[in-house]
Amino acid sequence: MSRDDDAYTFDERLPINPIQAGSTVFVSGEGFSSATDLARSMVVDSTAEEEGSLFISTNQTCGKLLDNCRRTRPGLDASRMGIIDCTGQDIGQAELAAQVRYVSTQSDLTGIGMKFSALYESLYASAEGGRVRTGLLSLSSLCMYVDLRKLFRFAQTLSGRIDSAGGLGVMLIDPTTHETQTINTLSQVADGKIEVREHDGDGAEYDGELRVRGLRDQPDGWVPFSL
């Protein structure tokens, strides 16, 4: 792992303290809703720091993902962004500022891994200090297409690459769609977890609540957040 002064920071609206470079974090939430938005925000916060961002998108086309990123961060600089679109809906030469690579099916973990390696190298070379944030949206979707052993090795490989490059990994998972054994197995590749739930109480300005587990120097208990 890298030094504390290389930690990745987040928008002030997110009650998450800097996370050490080289870390992979699970964002866990039912139905994905606010958890998806949070995971996406943690990655696109890279644009404010002149870092690179790389998404592996299993449920949204690259165009829809990019639109959502721009709604999250209106000042998004997509030129430092890469997307691996695994939806099977190749939109060809659409005018997208981001670097896009296509994989025809979510079951092709080898293809996803190859696209990831090439795109990560490209972003690493151009990003400030070689700093790249990776978002896998989502592990649960991939689990529908491949067995647990293959998915674990794939996630472990991604996490190892992120660690060695001093990056940040954010992997989305819905705990309600998996058995406990599956969650426990996949959790071994992560350094910590951010649990997300609906906001409990008044305050329409909040999108949900989060609780950080396994990462040092983070807020205690459930904390409301807005995006």
On the question of pLDDT at 208 being above 60, the answer is yes
- Calculate Rg over the CA atoms of the chain: 16
Domain boundaries, the chain: 4-225
**What is the number of other CB atoms lying within 10 angstroms of the CB of residue 115?**
22
Phi-psi region at 41: left, alpha or beta (left = phi > 0; alpha = psi -120 to 50): alpha
Q: Report cis status (omega within 30 of 0) of the bond before 138.
A: yes
Which pLDDT score is estimated for 5? 67
Torsion sign over Cα 110, 114, 119, 125 = positive
CA 11/CA 20 separation, integer angstroms:
16
Read off the pLDDT of each residue in 7-13 and give the average, rounded to a whole number: 91
CATH code of domain 4-225: 3.40.50.300
- Per-residue pLDDT band for 205 (boundaries 50, 70, 90) equals confident
CA 57/CA 51 separation, integer angstroms:
19
Higher pLDDT, 21 or 89: 21
Cβ pair 138, 106 in contact under 8 A: no
State both tokens at 60: 């949204």
Which pLDDT score is estimated for 3? 41
Phi, psi of 141 (to 5 degrees): -65, -45
In DSSP notation, 64-96 reads HHHHHHHHH-TT--GGGEEEEE-SS----S---
Please give the single-letter amino acid code of residue 181. Answer: Q
Cβ pair 224, 203 in contact under 8 A: yes
Burial class (CB in 10 A: 0-12, 13-18, 19+), 16: buried
Reported as a single tens digit per residue, the pLDDT across 127-179 is 989 999 999 999 999 999 999 999 999 999 999 999 999 999 999 999 888 88
Which pLDDT score is estimated for 2? 39
Q: Which of 16, 21, 40, 12 is nearest to 131 (CA)?
A: 21
Torsion sign over Cα 182, 185, 190, 191 = positive
State both tokens at 5: 């002064």
- Per-residue pLDDT band for 207 (boundaries 50, 70, 90) equals confident
On the question of pLDDT at 59 being above 60, the answer is yes
Phi-psi region at 101: left, alpha or beta (left = phi > 0; alpha = psi -120 to 50): beta
Question: pTM for the full model?
Answer: 0.92
